[in-house]
Amino acid sequence: MTAGQAPLLEVRDAVLSFGQTPALRGADLSVAAGEILAVMGPSGSGKSTLLHCMAGILVPDSGEVRFDGRRVDRMREPERSELRRDRFGFVFQFGQLVPELTAEENVAMPLLLGGTRRGPALAEARGWFPRLGLDGLGGRRSGELSGGQAQRVALARAMVARPDVLFADEPTGSLDSLTGEQVMEQLVDAVRENGTTAVIVTHEARVAACADREVMVRDGKVTSLRLERTGP
C-alpha cells in the first residue's frame, strides 16, 4: 500500500464469538485497492469469519470494519445487502450454481438482479465463456459440468458485474491440484485485468503464491504479515 493512501478494506480490532466459541479475537487487516490478498492459517483459526466480516455478511461483536471509508459494521442489513450486491463478488468452495439454470443464466444473474435486461445480461455473460476456457458450455446446467468448469462459471458470475472486491473462500478447495491451479490462474488474471481487489481464503501455499501478499490468521488474530513481490 502506498503511504498516505487509505485502504479500500479495513478491519480494526474485530472480535466475534459464536456462542461460547471465539472466532475473532482482535483481528486487524488492511487491503489496498487493486491488491490481491491471500488469507492463510490453520482450520478453525477464523479465516472465513474474517472474510465474512469484511464482506458485510457477519458483523463483529466489537471492532470496526470499513469499506471505501464507510463503516460496514454500523450498517443495517439492507444496506449491507446492497453493498454485497453492488460492490462485491463471491466465490465459495461448493454448490454455488443454481442447478435449474444454464451456465449462461447463472453468470447473468448478478446483472439481472442489478436491473440489466435479459438480452444484454446474457450477452455480457457469454463474453466470459471463451476467456475462461468455457467455450460451448453456456447452455449446460451445473450437473453437466466438471468441478473445474463449474468453478470457472462461478468465477465468471462473481466477476460479471465488475465488483470492486472479489471475496473467494477456498475457491479451489474442491478441485484436484492441477485443475485448482488453472482455476486460480484464471481467477488472478481476471481480477488483475479488471483492477479488482481480491481477498482469497486458502489452505494451499501454491494458491497463495499467486497473490500479491499473504497474511496468516491464528487463533482469531492476523498474526503475521509477509510481504511478497513488492516490485513495480
Q: How far is the CB of 59 from ligand ATP (least distance, A)?
A: 14
Selected from 29, 31, 41, 183, the binder of ligand ATP by CB under 6 A is 41
Per CB under 6 A, does 45 bind ligand ATP?
yes
Per CB under 6 A, does 20 bind ligand ATP?
no
Q: What is the DSSP letter of 142?
A: G
Matching residue, cell 468453478 = 151
Q: What is the DSSP letter of 163?
A: -
Per CB under 6 A, does 43 bind ligand ATP?
yes
Q: How far is the CB of 210 from ligand ATP (least distance, A)?
A: 18
Q: What would the grid cell of residue 75 be? A: 450498517
Candidates 17-25, 105-113, 145-153, 156-164; binding stretch for ligand ATP (CB under 6 A):
17-25
65 pairs with which residues across the strands? 11
At residue 19, what are phi and psi to the nearest 5 degrees?
60, -120
Selected from 14, 23, 37, 222, the binder of ligand ATP by CB under 6 A is 23
Candidates 26-34, 46-54, 72-80, 189-197; binding stretch for ligand ATP (CB under 6 A):
46-54
Beta strands in 82-164 (DSSP E): 88-91
Beta strands in 36-94 (DSSP E): 36-40, 62-67, 70-71, 88-91
